[in-house]
Amino acid sequence: MTLIDGKAIAQKTHAASRAAVAELKARGITPGLAVVLVGADPASQAYVRSKDKMCHDLGMHSVKHELPATTSQADLIAIVRLLNADPAIHGILVQSPPPSHIDERAVIDAIDPRKDVDGFHPLNVAKLTLGDPDGFVPCTPLGCQRLLIESGIETAGANIVVLGRSMIVGKPMALLLMAKGPGGDATVTVAHSRTRDLPAVCRTADILIAAIGRPEFVRADFVKDGAVVIDVGINRVDDFSLPKGYRLTGDVAFAEVAPKCRAITPVPGGVGPMTIAMLMASTIASARRFAALG
């Protein structure tokens, strides 16, 4: 069994990003990312901080808007519009989920699709569906695909089961894997909470991608011998033996599944580091496009 080292693959991606930033800076262009957070959710604050830190680390421009939970939808959209018009910003990300009085879809629709590095704007969803490479793709599925490519795991002709059908992970993951080209050309099945006999469906997978948000839901009987398992899940479960009182676990029962696998990602240290690596890469790609560098 091979452990797919997301941290190492993310570092490799960051090294390429750092070089790309240096090259752009030599031409007078500094890729810029703006992250907007509404409310004080500690996990979201941690994500925003790590994105800001990574931007600085790579030599990018970073703007952080941390707004009170009472911020109105109109005020949030006004900030998005300012960022749309700011030539120093090439990527805009509004941290999800916003407070319940804000319609997330309306906010995403307000982002200039050319700066929508999260790939949630309808135009970018359409481009992914059409196979148009000019769009942006959600960073987590893009990171999963990169993990497979970098690990030399062939997707062409493989039976891949994607467990979960969210707009953030499952659906774009399936579209990426069925697209033509490297990291694609797979025969994809998408499973969800209404799927009949889930373990049997998952056992058809040469590659199983779990993104459901249920701690250790995927057990040994979901996985055929020699399969590759990508665990997208990040779940907090109580663990009072630890000072922080919880531990992070994936959607896969790692201890019993790993021995059956050809390769598997750990949690943490698998998909997580790739999400931020792809966000940085997409922001750099956006800066290149704005400068008409392709």
Residues 191 to 250 in contact with ligand NDP, rule: CB under 6 A: 192-194, 198, 211-214, 232-235
**Which residue of this chain has its Cβ atom nearest to ligand NDP in the complex?**
166
β pairing state of 187-191 and 235-238: unpaired
Taking the C-alpha atoms of residue 61 and residue 187, their distance in angstroms, rounded to an integer, is 40
Contact between 282 and ligand NDP (CB under 6 A)? Answer: no
Q: Catalytic residue at 95?
A: yes
Residue 165 CB partners (closer than 8 Å, separation 6+): 171, 174, 190, 192
- By beta-carbon proximity to ligand NDP, the closer residue of 29 and 162 is 162
Is-contact 6 274, C-beta < 8 A?
Answer: yes
Helix (H, G, I), strand (E, B) or coil at 33: strand
Of 5, 116, 118, 231, which one is the catalytic site residue?
A: 118
Residues 250 to 279 in contact with ligand NDP, rule: CB under 6 A: 251, 271-272, 275
- By beta-carbon proximity to ligand NDP, the closer residue of 39 and 213 is 213
Residue 126 CB partners (closer than 8 Å, separation 6+): 132, 135
**What's the token pair of residue 108?**
């995403």
Shortest spacing between CB 170 and ligand NDP, in angstroms: 5
- Of 151, 152, 176, nearest in space to 162 by CA: 176
Of 5, 95, 116, 145, which one is the catalytic site residue?
A: 95
Interface region with ligand NDP, contact rule CB under 6 A, candidates 33-41, 67-75, 166-174, 279-287: 166-174
Q: Which of 135, 141, 170, 266 binds ligand NDP (CB under 6 A)?
A: 170
Helix spans in the chain (H): 6-26, 42-58, 73-85, 104-110, 122-130, 139-150, 170-178, 198-202, 254-257, 271-290
Contact between 164 and ligand NDP (CB under 6 A)? Answer: yes
Q: Catalytic residue at 118?
A: yes
Q: Which of 153, 165, 216, 230 binds ligand NDP (CB under 6 A)?
A: 165
Taking the C-alpha atoms of residue 37 and residue 98, their distance in angstroms, rounded to an integer, is 8
- By beta-carbon proximity to ligand NDP, the closer residue of 45 and 84 is 45
Name the site residues for ligand NDP (rule: CB under 6 A).
Answer: 140, 164-166, 168-170, 192-194, 198, 211-214, 232-235, 251, 271-272, 275
Q: Which residues are identified as catalytic?
A: 51, 95, 118
